[in-house]
Structure 1
Amino acid sequence: MLSLIAAASAFAVAAALSGTAGAAEPSPSEGSQRYVVTGPKTAAQRSQVASTGAAIDAVRGGAVEVSAIPSEVRAIKRFGFTVRRAPAEPAPGPSASAASYHTFAEMQQEVDSVTAAYPQITRKFVVGKSYEGRDIIGIKISDNVGTDENEPEVLVIANIHARERLTAEQALDYLGQLTKGYGTDSTVTNLVNNREIYLMPMVNPDGQVYDMTSDTQPGRSWRKNRQPNPTSTGTDLNRNFAYKWGCCNGSSTSGASETYRGTGPESATETKVIANFVRSRKVNGKQQLKMFLDIHSYSELVLWPFGFTYNDTVPGALDADQEAAHRKIGQEMAAINGFRPEQSSDLYITDGTTDDWTWGDQRIFSYTFELGGNSFYPPPSAIEREIARSRGALLKLTDYADCPYRAIGKQDQYCAA
């Protein structure tokens, strides 16, 4: 692992080369395009790419796939890496890819249908409103769903990046697992009886609607929310949380960038809604949420904190047992879905992310799944296959909410009544 001093030095150089720190904003007309970057092999080199403000979409086959505006492409080239345009998304064919994914309205209809069919164990609620006024929908799943019981809680969110449509399908499938399996599957029944599970299938509804209302197939490849910023449109919600916000060259100050961090922590409407919900789960000063998952796509990864530093542990924020428990649970989940398990910063440096905040600020054991599919828009034939891979991993995460330290055999030390 690199030291914090070395990392800070590298990022200072990166900022000077990329011009993302204090430089003039690129024109909003500098549209983001997708590219393949060859040359970055290590976390430090991938972090150089990310330091330009480019969004790293996937890491595979010895290359990094990014979404970047022209100024970011120029900065990546100054690091000595090769950049070429990515191939266009394949044509969806007669069965349009977009038609196979839930629209925002269809998601609401499905949630309404499920909660009507399983009223004893599900409850729909509105977490808050998006910037454009859409409902951010939540579902609570538990045996006594109308009562706030003294049970460990789990929060799963999806579709924080609009174009990552498979993530909402995974979340809705998880809802189906928990409801259809209740009373017939002993594992599911036990979890629903002994947990309070909160699910938010589309936390960026404005971006999702915009992405799906494209004249071209399969979509607009829109990532951010739809809130205007000083020079363009949209904030990257997954760079806008109030823990180490903008600390470490893991996001951009450019409003045109895909990783624009916002004007300040929680400046994006949807970020504030999510964070307020998490804060609301503190009862008598104690956080009831014990496990958190943010579902993304498409690199086939299981990630855990921290993203802002290469260090495995951070004094006062992530000690050896906390890191070991995170790592062990991550490895167990990855053994189920076949993904690669690693600390978030082993991929590249980020700041202001969901799971850095949920752990760093709220001490909720936190994970990100990067689903598979080789695209933001997998063809219809791939959807069921890809979501099936993580069904067991989601149940594993839910199971560990009673005591994550069970994973390292220290439940008596940390979780004794």
Structure 2
Amino acid sequence: MVASVLRRFLVPLAAGALFLSALPSGSAIAEPSYDLYEVRGATTAQDRTEITATGAAIDQVGDDSVLVTATPDDAEAIGDLGYDVEVLDLPVPFAGPDSGYTTYGELLGVIDQMVADNPRIAAKSVIGRSHQGRDLVAVKISDNVRVDENEPEVLFVHAQHAREHLTVEMAVYLMRLLTDEYGSDPRITRLVDNREIWILPNVNPDGSEYDMAGSSWRNWRKNRQPNAGSSAVGTDLNRNWDYRWGCCGGSSSNPSSSTYRGSAPESATEVRVIADFVRSRVVGGEQQITTAIDFHTYSELILWPFGHTYSDVTTGMTRAEYDTHAALGRHMAAANGYTPQQSSDLYITDGSINDWLWGDQRIVNFTYEMYPRSAARGGFYPPSSVIARETARNREAVLRLLDYADCPYRIIGRQAAYCG
């Protein structure tokens, strides 16, 4: 079976879609290795949730199988559940990180130049620092950018997971789109004039720099914060949020696992900084951020909360609120060709930003899982030649979210009840 798997992935991987199964030799810290496995026999969301409960991170969902990033111990635990597990040991050379992707230092340069070129509508602020001391930057785009106006606010979050570099390129695209076309494109001009847009272009710079710093991609997902009592480094930022944290089998308590949820909610430095920033947008008792997108890769999906439960109408989510998320998710997916669905339709996750933004802050929000649709087309590491095409692909979808930011409930005709 391994040979047939290799034949299926060999050609596209040789063309530039590369995975690295272990950390480089000579690492100063004895960290666990992470390999790519195919797990066969997983046909339902419940099956996939059972697999993620081992600590494996599901990278791709098929009809009767999944691809996971896991330690050998996690893979053994999956096998003990009765699934057929095979490591994908791809017999192709691993290429170095693609120089077409934007490094953290380059990103800061892009932001500084963009702000210098557009001082009336763009501003940069440092909202905190990563575990290793890198600036966590927020870019605000709005007319009268240095004034806190009474306008609906929209939040875009990028790169919670280190290896998902295409999301940083999405941030660069959005910053340029909203500034370069201001004054010439009537729709963009209207949106910038009537919204306050916050872009957090890389919220895990320690992890992303680590992932691209070696001679090969490191397949690194978490941040770079040490864990007390363990040689394993890092917390999965998107399992560390303070809403139903660790509640439901959708994250791991093992520091070695890819989906380690941390020692406590907001124990990850970066999560605490972002959460504090979002809480700071509560003015006069009202959260000013009305809508948000958290960008990830890969699979070409638009997901909405909740992730911690299979139910749609449940504690914290009424029918009208669910229908608003679903209708707006489908409206955006009609523009970019992604598949729209509730997060838990894939598998249960807990402690995610998706659930926290809605459950704790009442922000209508979505996760975009960007290009590609499959590992065969590049997985987490598609060639940089796709950046321009795949970021522009989301232009209309993002503008549709901005259109509805004044009152997301308009999309189901409930603006009178919800937006006063």
| Equivalent residue for 1:221, pick from 204, 209, 219 | 219
The one-letter amino acid of 1:221's match is N
The one-letter amino acid of 2:367's match is T
| Equivalent residue for 2:83, pick from 56, 81, 84 | 81
What is the TM-score of this pair, normalised by structure 1?
A: 0.90
Task: Check whether the contact 2:292–2:364 (CA below 8 A) recurs between aligned residues.
Answer: yes
Q: Which runs of 4+ in 1 moved over 6 A?
A: none
1:415 maps to 2:419: yes
Partners of 2:172 and 2:94 lie apart in 1 by: 23
Q: 1:137 to 1:88 in 2, by over 3 A?
A: farther
Structure 2: segments with no counterpart, 5+ residues: 1-28
For residues 87-121 of structure 1, give each alpha carbon's deviation from its aligned partner in whole angstroms, at most 9, with x where no partner exists.
5497687xx65201000000000001111111110
1:392 maps to 2:396: yes
Task: Check whether the contact 2:31–2:233 (CA below 8 A) recurs between aligned residues.
Answer: no
Per-residue deviation at 1:86?
A: 2.7
Per-residue deviation at 1:61?
A: 6.0
Partners of 2:330 and 2:213 lie apart in 1 by: 38
Q: 1:67 to 1:92 in 2, by over 3 A?
A: closer
For residues 389-415 of structure 1, give each alpha carbon's deviation from its aligned partner in whole angstroms, at most 9, with x where no partner exists.
212111111221100001101112221
Superposition pairs of residues 198-237 of structure 1, within 5 angstroms: 198-216=198-216, 219-230=217-228, 231=230, 232-237=232-237
Partners of 2:33 and 2:364 lie apart in 1 by: 37
Question: Sequence identity, in percent?
Answer: 50
Per-residue deviation at 1:385?
A: 2.0
Aligned partner of residue 253 in structure 1, secondary structure: coil
The residue number in structure 1 matching 2:5 is: none
For residues 48-84 of structure 1, give each alpha carbon's deviation from its aligned partner in whole angstroms, at most 9, with x where no partner exists.
1111110111224643111101221112112222212
Superposition pairs of residues 88-107 of structure 1, within 5 angstroms: 88=90, 98-107=98-107
The residue number in structure 2 matching 1:378 is: 382
Aligned partner of residue 311 in structure 2, secondary structure: coil
The one-letter amino acid of 1:135's match is D
Q: 1:283 to 1:49 in 2, by over 3 A?
A: same
Q: 1:233 to 1:415 in 2, by over 3 A?
A: same
Superposition pairs of residues 18-417 of structure 1, within 5 angstroms: 29-60=31-62, 62-86=64-88, 88=90, 98-216=98-216, 219-230=217-228, 231=230, 232-315=232-315, 317-373=316-372, 374=377, 375-416=379-420
Partners of 2:70 and 2:272 lie apart in 1 by: 26
Task: Check whether the contact 2:300–2:339 (CA below 8 A) recurs between aligned residues.
Answer: yes
The residue number in structure 1 matching 2:25 is: none
Partners of 1:354 and 1:29 lie apart in 2 by: 26
Per-residue deviation at 1:212?
A: 1.0
Partners of 1:180 and 1:367 lie apart in 2 by: 26
The one-letter amino acid of 1:207's match is G
Partners of 2:121 and 2:151 lie apart in 1 by: 14
Q: How many residues align?
A: 385
Aligned partner of residue 404 in structure 2, secondary structure: helix
The one-letter amino acid of 1:236's match is D
The one-letter amino acid of 2:69's match is S
Task: Check whether the contact 1:97–1:380 (CA below 8 A) recurs between aligned residues.
Answer: no
Partners of 1:324 and 1:89 lie apart in 2 by: 47
CA RMSD of aligned residues (A): 1.6
For residues 351-377 of structure 1, give each alpha carbon's deviation from its aligned partner in whole angstroms, at most 9, with x where no partner exists.
000010010000000110000124111
Q: 1:303 to 1:182 in 2, by over 3 A?
A: same
What is the TM-score of this pair, normalised by structure 2?
A: 0.89
Q: 1:376 to 1:334 in 2, by over 3 A?
A: same
Partners of 2:414 and 2:89 lie apart in 1 by: 49
Partners of 2:92 and 2:387 lie apart in 1 by: 15
The one-letter amino acid of 2:220's match is W
Task: Check whether the contact 1:292–1:355 (CA below 8 A) recurs between aligned residues.
Answer: no
Partners of 1:130 and 1:144 lie apart in 2 by: 29
